[in-house]
């Protein structure tokens, strides 16, 4: 079930990976490749490379790799089908599906976003025009949000009535089961539709692609539930959604950081103040899924709420997320008890200053401890030191802890050794878990561990297969990774098919090689023969050593051929070297086959 393979291939072939990646990072042409700063991990020196002809990218820093579809999936956090559909839309390709059910599911999702979009328009029109929405407009004015802000964020008003939205949507020919499935209404005891939201200021929520999926509604009446969100639906999953990301994602990528807020009006306040890279959770606490989305856009996180209020348990989560998702967490210096919308209301410039003064998470926590202490007395400094120890102990990185111990010890005028002793005494075993939270990165090291001659032969096979097609054999590759990579190239009809059929290690190797430059020089064929000769030489030498060790008389014949190959290679007689490599190959291939001595 899914999109037809030939249509997926058409999408890949029709997508300009360089143009696509340029929407998210600055690229510079270097030879036949394009390079830039990797969008998947923080770096200062470009290690991200694209082969525009093959349509593949590879990062030599973190090992991220793939094609245009992979890039869109990782950057925009889409599933495979959504990514293909997005690229197909850009390329003007009409996709076909191999089962009617898949097409039906896609159509159903489209209908759900359509009905939510109609609800957004209905609520927004009421907010702007209806006398019933005066209270909502008045509330917005008290928060310093005018009509332009309401239009910019498509704000709306859900009337107090029983079924105003449901009647409106049914009049527009939306079936009642679709309205219920979209979370806009429910069936009451009288078997009638009843609106999900009533008497609330409505904040529409969009997914990362900008599709309308749900709402957050703020009561302006007596309902004890201050905020209410859409229920879980096929298109609304609150643990994976971030309010404002659809508007902010471009700025997040451009600025390299994302501001996380607690409320919808906070996101609006930041955007109106000149920081349109803010997002908020949708009625739920921050979760792993949120960072699975955010890490594709930026690795620097700025918290714009009181990160100290939740105490130690919250700190532990943030340190785990720092380790696990390779992010850097900072905290905006907001006044105590004031949210971003409050600060913006009083002084928009102060909100931007709070961002500029954002501190690393541990520094923020320690500053709160020291601010609350009376450091003018010996007793006050002692109490501050005792309070700082557990905060210092929360951080999993020993080097980071050492740096902050120095800072706190200097501020309080106490010995560094005292903090070290106290931390040892109250040591936290959870640090060991933090230290192992990051999965291993697959970058340069896993390739450098392979035989460079085998890797170079594969490089030629990837970029200039016509020069080595008749000269290479799987028996020449000694590691499982290089042999599997060569087997994939040998049996697949296209480079992409080879990568799809290869295992994880072999695929990663091929993805790296495809973006690396291959300098063949003036005589490409000669270079290819030299690469093969080097590989045949070492394989034949291994075979010769085995024959000599066994006292096999054939060793003299093999040694004669091997000496000739070395001689011909050294004098750059590539015609003779190619012929000699062909004579030596059966010795190596025969040895690798089962039952051949």
Summarised one tens digit per residue, pLDDT across range 246-273 is 999 888 888 888 999 988 999 999 999 9
Mean pLDDT, all residues of the chain: 84
Q: How far apart are CA 562 and CA 580, in angstroms?
A: 8
Q: What is the mean pLDDT of residues 169-179?
A: 95
Q: Given this model, what pLDDT does residue 279 score?
A: 95
Q: What's the confidence (pLDDT) of residue 520?
A: 66
Least confident of 178-182, 320-324, 387-391, 419-423: 320-324
Q: Name the one residue in this structure whose structure tokens are 């159903």.
A: 108
Is it the case that residue 428 has pLDDT exceeding 60?
A: no
What φ, ψ does residue 100 adopt, rounded to 5°?
A: -65, -30
Task: State the pLDDT at residue 121.
Answer: 97
Identify the DSSP state of 132: G
Domain 253-435 matching CATH 3.40.1360.10: the answer reads yes
Task: Kindly report which listed range (40-49, 205-214, 352-361, 442-451) carries the lowest average pLDDT score.
Answer: 442-451
Dihedral (CA of 10, 16, 22, 28) sign: positive
What fold, for 5-91? DNA Primase; Chain A (3.90.580)
Would you say the C-alpha torsion 479, 481, 482, 487 has a positive or negative sign? positive
Looking at the DSSP bridge assignments, the partners of residue 59 are 48
pLDDT value for 171: 95
Return the pLDDT at 315.
Answer: 60
Residue of higher predicted confidence among 530 and 524: 530
CATH number of the structural domain 100-236: 3.90.980.10
**Distance between CA 357 and CA 367 in Å, rounded?**
13
1-10 pLDDT, tens digit each: 478 888 898 8
Instruction: Kindly report, residue by residue over 102-126, the tens digit of the pLDDT.
Output: 567 777 888 999 999 999 999 999 9
Would you state the pLDDT for residue 567? 87
Q: What counts of helices (H) and strands (E) characterise the chain?
A: 28, 17
- Give the DSSP per-residue string, 136-177: HHHHHHHTT--HHHHHHTT-EEE-SSSSHHHHHHHHTT--HH
Q: What is the pLDDT of residues 435-472, one digit of tens each?
A: 444 433 444 445 556 888 888 888 888 888 877 777 78
| pLDDT at residue 592 is higher than 80 | no
The predicted model gives 559-588 an average pLDDT of 83
Residue 309: per-residue pLDDT: 53
Is residue 332 within 8 A of residue 339, CB to CB? The reply is no
**Which of 224-238, 320-334, 347-361 is predicted with the least confidence, judged by mean pLDDT?**
320-334
The least confident of 70-74, 170-174, 282-286 is 282-286
């Amino acid at each position: 079930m899914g999109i037809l393979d030939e249509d997926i291939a058409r999408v890949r072939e029709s997508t300009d990976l360089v143009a696509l990646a340029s929407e998210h990072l600055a690229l510079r042409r270097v030879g036949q490749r394009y390079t830039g700063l990797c969008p998947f991990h923080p770096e200062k020196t470009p290690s991200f490379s694209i082969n525009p002809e093959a349509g593949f990218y590879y990062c030599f820093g973190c090992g991220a790799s793939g094609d245009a579809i992979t890039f869109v999936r990782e950057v925009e956090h889409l599933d495979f089908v959504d990514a293909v559909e997005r690229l197909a839309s850009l390329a003007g390709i009409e996709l076909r599906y191999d089962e009617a059910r898949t097409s039906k599911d896609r159509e159903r999702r489209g209908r759900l976003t359509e009905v939510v979009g109609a609800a957004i328009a209905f609520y927004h029109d009421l907010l702007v025009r209806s006398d019933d929405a005066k209270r909502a407009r008045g509330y917005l004015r008290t928060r310093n949000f005018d009509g332009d802000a309401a239009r910019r964020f498509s704000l709306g008003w859900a009337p107090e009535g029983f079924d105003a939205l449901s009647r409106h949507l049914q009049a527009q020919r939306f079936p009642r089961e679709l309205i219920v499935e979209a979370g806009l209404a429910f069936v009451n005891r009288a078997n009638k539709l009843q609106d999900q939201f009533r008497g609330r200021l409505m904040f529409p929520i969009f997914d990362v692609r900008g599709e309308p999926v749900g709402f957050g509604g703020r009561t302006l009446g007596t309902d004890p539930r201050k905020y209410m969100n859409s229920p879980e639906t096929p298109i609304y999953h609150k643990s994976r959604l971030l309010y404002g990301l659809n508007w902010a994602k471009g700025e997040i990528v451009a600025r390299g950081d994302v501001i996380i807020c607690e409320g919808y009006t906070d996101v609006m306040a930041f955007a109106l103040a000149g920081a349109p890279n803010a997002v908020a959770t949708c009625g739920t606490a921050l979760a792993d899924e949120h960072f699975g989305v955010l890490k594709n856009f930026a690795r620097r996180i700025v918290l714009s709420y009181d990160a100290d209020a939740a105490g130690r348990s919250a700190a532990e989560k943030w340190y785990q997320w720092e380790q696990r998702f390779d992010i850097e967490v900072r905290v905006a210096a907001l006044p105590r008890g004031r949210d971003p919308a409050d600060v913006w209301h009083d002084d928009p410039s102060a909100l931007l200053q709070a961002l500029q003064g954002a501190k690393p998470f541990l520094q923020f926590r320690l500053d709160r401890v020291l601010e609350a202490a009376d450091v003018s007395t010996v007793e006050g400094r002692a109490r501050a030191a005792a309070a700082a120890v557990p905060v210092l102990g929360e951080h999993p990185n020993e080097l980071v802890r050492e740096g902050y111990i120095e800072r706190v010890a200097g501020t309080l005028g106490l010995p560094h050794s005292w903090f070290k002793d106290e931390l040892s005494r109250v040591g936290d075993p959870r640090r060991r878990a933090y230290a192992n939270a990051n999965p291993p990165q697959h970058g340069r090291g896993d390739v450098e561990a392979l035989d460079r001659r085998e890797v170079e032969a594969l490089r030629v096979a990837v970029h200039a297969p016509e020069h080595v097609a008749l000269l290479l054999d799987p028996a020449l590759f000694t590691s499982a990774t290089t042999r599997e990579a060569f087997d994939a190239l040998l049996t697949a009809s296209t480079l992409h098919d080879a990568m799809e059929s290869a295992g994880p290690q072999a695929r990663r190797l091929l993805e790296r090689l495809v973006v690396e430059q291959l300098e063949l020089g003036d005589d490409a064929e000669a270079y290819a023969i030299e690469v093969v000769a080097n590989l045949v030489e070492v394989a034949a030498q291994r075979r010769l050593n085995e024959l000599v060790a066994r006292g096999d008389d054939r060793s003299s014949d093999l040694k004669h051929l091997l000496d000739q190959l070395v001689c011909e290679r050294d004098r750059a007689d590539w015609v003779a070297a190619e012929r000699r490599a062909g004579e030596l190959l059966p010795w190596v291939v025969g040895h690798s086959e089962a039952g051949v001595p």
